[in-house]
Amino acid sequence: MNAEIITIGDELLIGQTIDTNSVYLAKKFEEIGIRISRKTAISDEKSDIIEMLQSASQRVDLIVITGGLGPTKDDITKKTLVEYFQCGWRIDQNVIDHLTKIFQSRGREFLEINKVQAELPACCETLHNEVGTAPGMLFNENGKIIISLPGVPNEVEYLIENQAIPRLIEKFNLAKIEHRTLITLMVPESMLSKQLEPFEATLPENLKLAYLPSFNCVKLRLSASGNIVSSVFLDEWFLKLQAATHPHVFCTSDISPVSYISSLLLENNISISTAESCTGGFIANQFVQAPGISKILSGSIISYSNEVKELELNVPHEILKEFGAVSEETATAMVNGVCAKFKSQLGIATTGIAGPSGGTESKPVGTIFIAIKYLDQILVRKFRLFGNRIQFMERANNCAMAMVKEIIGNI
Amino acid sequence: MNAEIITIGDELLIGQTIDTNSVYLAKKFEEIGIRISRKTAISDEKSDIIEMLQSASQRVDLIVITGGLGPTKDDITKKTLVEYFQCGWRIDQNVIDHLTKIFQSRGREFLEINKVQAELPACCETLHNEVGTAPGMLFNENGKIIISLPGVPNEVEYLIENQAIPRLIEKFNLAKIEHRTLITLMVPESMLSKQLEPFEATLPENLKLAYLPSFNCVKLRLSASGNIVSSVFLDEWFLKLQAATHPHVFCTSDISPVSYISSLLLENNISISTAESCTGGFIANQFVQAPGISKILSGSIISYSNEVKELELNVPHEILKEFGAVSEETATAMVNGVCAKFKSQLGIATTGIAGPSGGTESKPVGTIFIAIKYLDQILVRKFRLFGNRIQFMERANNCAMAMVKEIIGNI
């Protein structure tokens, strides 16, 4: 079954907000066999919204609208829905009760303007929003479902998971769309594609292989759609894909490289710390985004200046003087220092030039040394990474994850 | 002038990739007076692409397509464009020369598959891509411009800035769309809206006020469109908006709170360090994303465990024992410790419970103490922040920025 997402709001069009809701929606819907066939961002103009509703409802059976449900004057989705369905208004007492409760618990005054959120199109079913003030709405128009949600990400998540999905499962008879994803690091897309030519030539027509490159990482996604393909058949071909991708397979699940390494370390109770110069805590923070990481990560250090490298990580002054801060020798001393400081079994150290300035002829912007220590082994590599500061950090992080995998082996 | 963006690729629809290109495009186009009126993500199906090109070219004079230009088999944009324009193929020798040069400099073999990238629709103008292997393409169809770009963000940026924009400025007679943005922190949208009611009632019709909420931050954007509104007129009303928003104005430019604080600290040469427990380096890393920050940030520490808090930050054992790690007392000791350790004038310390587990009745998930030290002053606050781990960190970061602004005052 196909669905379309319509996001409403100038902020998505003029570039002030990145649309993460659609990513969440797509993932959740995929789990119950709903495929997003189109996603459209429009401004909060009534005529655009109505036109989109009309055209989308000719293409699909489910439309999800996000955005434009706040209490302020620039939010017009609800008015437009009343006009589109020509249904008038109703007041939802449950919403008023919920709002009163929320405002009390937060110690805030319940303003007249907030009551507007209990005014709903007469023909919609209310989707109770436990985590926010704007309720979701579900419309059933001759068997086609239109769901309208606020734009705030955690409210979208609550409403989809707890309100929308149970109703959609009940209403539609859904066929699951399956994917299998593997991840490679440090291999260019064109090299992978060349290596996979024989595999692709034998791939059955009801399977599809996609290359998803990002930051020295290429995801390979094998997809099947419809009822024709069994999980077993997809699994078989996924094994063939893994064999064909050998020796470049980093992991065989659709998670980020750092999530994969986090789980591996957590499962094996390997303690970790980072000493980051040019990546400034980026790698540690990626680890920290995994719940439960405090079991294996007790601390980390951002050592930007030479002084901090000396004082906090015991990098010898002579090494900094002779080889410079951006060197194999400094990276090695840093990783030794951080493992000793935090008594960790695994250490990651980075030192380099993120740019835009600071490069030299022998060490241009993008140069980075990454050192990984695991027990008594140390691995140090030099990379030249492209892109702006944030891209540099993303790439460095993926390089480090590839090196961690290499050094800890297949535990 | 209006434009539409069409992004191509299943990865954007099934939620594997977040679309950051559109955000960049919208910002850049805004500067030259092009407004994105619609943004559509479709899958890499030929019929969908052709249908979108047909319908979009009826609505706007400029269409930008991103994605689907890699050398691999799942990329079908180029073939579809040849079919849409019914123009056949040509080989671009400049692209071959550029590819040969790139592969040589990276020490990689130039594969036959890479030559495919020099095969272009016969009727397009080549947009030279200095930073990647897939060239951009520009088509002129009876005065309507269609630009096709690869999906890789830094390539999109290069092509737009260096190739597309100069051509668009020449081709179209553009009227600038202006915005003025101010940022508030820690004030709920509905409270702001209530406070701004009198202001909104007097707002002229050719101006528009939008509320853009995210993570304890609300951006207020005043926009004008068309030629009718002068910059002076917009500036006058922006001053009125600032007065009406008083005392909640955090800053009056459209940058992130942490970028604003970074510039303020850099301009005034105020050194900074962070000691982060629950935010795990998130705040330091936000600072590090600003170029030049090494002038004022020498180091920072992620002190997850109590042991690290004691050993690295000199938090007294008795304080941890009596008040717990998540307490005003510990936050205060942490901020004192980090300022002493890194000899910084300004310090930021966080300790809290990011969740999803670890909460108690008196300190539920989302509880955080933030301490800011500037010279001899210390400010400590307790917050209860909502959302998942990453939202928790985003909110904590904004709380910290509001507190930094408060403590350093209007220097």
Contact criterion met (CB < 8 Å) for A285 and B289: no
Residue B58 has pLDDT above 80, yes or no: yes
Side chain identity at A278, as an amino acid letter?
C
CA separation, residue B136 to residues A196, B24, B39, B160 (Å): 26, 16, 19, 9
The amino acid present at B71, given as its one-letter code, is: P
Number of domains in chain A: 3
In angstroms, the CA B26 to CA B37 distance is 10
pLDDT value at residue A16: 63
| Mean pLDDT for the stretch of residues B329-339 | 98
Q: How far apart are CA A76 and CA A68, in angstroms?
A: 6
Among the candidates A251, A275, A298, a domain finishes at A251
Say whether both B63 and B159 belong to one domain.
yes
Same domain, A154 and A188: no
Q: How far away is chain A from the Cα of B155, in angstroms, using its nearest Cα?
A: 9
pLDDT profile of chain A (411 residues), mean per 10? 89 71 85 87 89 94 85 75 94 93 79 84 95 92 93 89 91 77 92 94 89 87 73 93 96 92 95 96 93 91 95 96 96 98 97 86 91 96 87 94 90 59
Instruction: Give how far Cα A347 sits from Cα of A276, A288, A297, A314, Å.
Output: 10, 15, 10, 15
Q: Looking at the structure, tell me whether residues A192 and A96 fall in a common domain.
A: no
pLDDT (0 to 100) of residue B21? 86
Q: Is B285 in contact with B354 (CB distance < 8 Å)?
A: no
**Is residue B228 scored above 90 in pLDDT?**
no
Picking from B18, B23, B284, the nearest residue to A280 by CB comes out as B284
CA B299 – CA B105 distance, rounded (Å) = 36
Segment 357-396 of chain B within 8 Å of chain A by CB: 357, 386-391, 393
Per-residue pLDDT at A244: 97
Verify that B375 and B228 share a domain, yes or no: no
At A242 the pLDDT is: 97
CB atoms A154 and B387 under 8 Å: yes
pLDDT, tens digit (0-9, with 9 covering 90-100), for B11-38: 777 766 677 788 889 888 887 888 899 9
Structure tokens at B388: 């998942």
- When mean pLDDT is compared across B99-108, B178-187, B234-243, the lowest value belongs to B99-108
In angstroms, rounded to a whole number, what is the distance separating the alpha carbons of residues A333 and A313?
8
Find, in chain B, the residue whose alpha carbon is nearest to that of A303: B299
Q: Does B54 touch chain A (CB under 8 A)?
A: no
CA-to-CA distance for A198 and B12, rounded, in angstroms?
A: 27
Min Cα separation A86/chain B (Å): 26
What is the per-residue pLDDT for B374?
Answer: 96
Chain B residues in contact with A200 (beta carbon < 8 A): 73
Write down the H helix ranges in A106-230.
112-115, 153-158, 165-171, 189-195, 197-202
Mean pLDDT of chain B: 90
In this prediction, residue A177 carries a pLDDT of 67
Residue A74 parent element (H or E): none
In chain B, residues 151-190 whose CB comes closer than 8 Å to chain A:
152-154, 179, 181, 188-190
Residue of A103, A171, A93 lying closest to A132 (CA atoms): A103
Q: Which residue of A has its CA nearest to B27?
A: A15
Measure in Å the smallest separation between the Cα of A297 and chain B Cα atoms. 7
Q: Are residues A198 and A152 in the same domain?
A: no
Cα four-point dihedral sign A79, A85, A86, A87: negative
Q: Tell me which of A137, A171, A205 is where a domain ends.
A: A171
Give CA–CA dist B383/B394, Å, rounded.
13
pLDDT, tens digit, 9 for 90 and up, residues B248-266: 999 999 889 999 999 999 9
Window B:107-126, CB contacts with A under 8 Å: 108, 111, 113-114
Residues B288 and B390 reside in one and the same domain: yes
Q: Which residue of B has its CA nearest to A116?
A: B190
E-assigned strand segments in B23-101? 35-42, 62-66, 89-91
B136 bridge partner residues = B127
User: Is B195's Cβ below 8 Å from some Cβ in A?
Assistant: no
pLDDT for the residue numbered A45: 86
Q: Are residues B146 and B125 in the same domain?
A: yes
Is B111 found in the same domain as B56?
yes
Looking at the fold, whether A16 and A148 belong to one and the same domain comes out as yes
Same domain, A34 and A60: yes
Residue A335, pLDDT score: 98
Which domain range does residue A223 map to? 178-251
CATH of the domain at B404: 3.90.950.20
Same domain? A98 vs A234: no
- Domain limit, last residue, from A113, A148, A171: A171
Question: What is the per-residue DSSP string for A106-135?
Answer: TT----HHHHGGGEEETTPEEE--TTSSSP
pLDDT at B227: 55
Which CATH number does the domain housing residue B111 bear? Answer: 3.40.980.10
The reply to whether B68 and B116 lie within a common domain is yes
Q: Cβ(A407)–Cβ(A372) under 8 Å?
A: yes
B356 and chain A in contact, CB less than 8 A: yes
> Looking at the predicted complex, does its ipTM rise above 0.95?
no
The enclosing domain of B236 has a CATH number of: 3.30.70.2860
A300 vs B20, B292, B302: nearest CB:
B302
- Which residue in this structure is represented by tokens 């006009």? A83
